[in-house]
Amino acid sequence: MMTVQQNKKIEVRELGFKDYKDTWDYQEQLFKEILELKVKNRREGSQEETPNYLLSVEHPHVYTLGKSGDISNLLINEKQLKEKGATFYKINRGGDITYHGPGQMVIYPILDLDNFFTDIHKYLRLLEEAVILTLQDYGIKAERSEGETGVWLDVGTPFARKICAMGVRASRWVTMHGLALNVNADLGYFDNIVPCGIKEKAVTSLNVELGKASIDMEVLKQKFLSYFKELFDAELS
């Protein structure tokens, strides 16, 4: 059986400020194209390289519920959603409910892990590591919380709070969805949900932690991409 060449190039696509559903549809399109190419390679014994993408985006206010999530973790009704200018979607990633909105760095890697390593656990840990290293550059000691995907501050204390949520989907080692790091986020929107289904734990944002009105998102994103590239031994374009 012929082995397909590993392609460590990742095309970064900056989507700017984009509707959640439009972005989700776009992710699905890229995800499907990679899957179809993998099936074709296997069927025909060919070695066509599969592409990898990393989408960077900010969304208008939206709540999304993962396939294992509990709808009761959304604490407001349809009318209240409209009043807050927010939308709601049930989606096909892992995890429970989360919020996306302006002031978040949202990253969706659509990778063929056959190009890197076939280990979802390792994939999630490296995503977390890229965020942890980025926050370290701002003097923030971030860490993992056992059994709770994402990136946290002050783990194991009464002040534990989440700064980055993660939820992914994978099929045939192709990934989609990803992470949302609160940079200049309006934390009031988290009051309308039980974030990630975890009660009694707070959520925070980098600007709050640093006591600043706002953090330069572009500078932060470049730091993150640099660590991501290093951890995945990838070439970004």
DSSP states of 26-70: HHHHHHHHHHHHHHHHHHHT--PPPP-EEEEEE-SSEEEE-TT--
Question: What percent of the chain is modeled with pLDDT above 90?
Answer: 80
Residue 177: pLDDT band by 50, 70, 90 thresholds? Answer: very high
Q: Which of 15-19, 71-75, 154-158 is the least confident region?
A: 71-75
Q: How far apart are CA 29 and CA 14, in angstroms?
A: 16
What mean pLDDT is predicted for residues 154-176? 95
Is position 96 annotated in a ligand binding site?
Answer: yes
Look at residue 5 in the predicted model and tell me its pLDDT.
72
Q: Across the chain, what does the average pLDDT equal?
A: 93
Look at residue 154 in the predicted model and tell me its pLDDT.
96
- From the list 101, 104, 96, 37, the residue with the least C-alpha distance to 64 is 96
Look at residue 1 in the predicted model and tell me its pLDDT.
42
9-231 classified as CATH 3.30.930.10:
yes
Is position 161 annotated in a ligand binding site?
Answer: no
If residue 88 lies in a helix (H) or strand (E), which one and from where to where? Answer: strand 87-90
What mean pLDDT is predicted for residues 150-179? 95
Annotated catalytic residues are 196
pTM: 0.94
Amino acid in the structure at residue 81:
L
Is position 103 annotated in a ligand binding site?
Answer: no
Structure-token match 């919020």, residue found: 99
DSSP state, residue 81: H
Is position 99 annotated in a ligand binding site?
Answer: yes
Is position 179 annotated in a ligand binding site?
Answer: yes
Q: Are strands 161-171 and 148-153 parallel, antiparallel or unpaired?
A: antiparallel
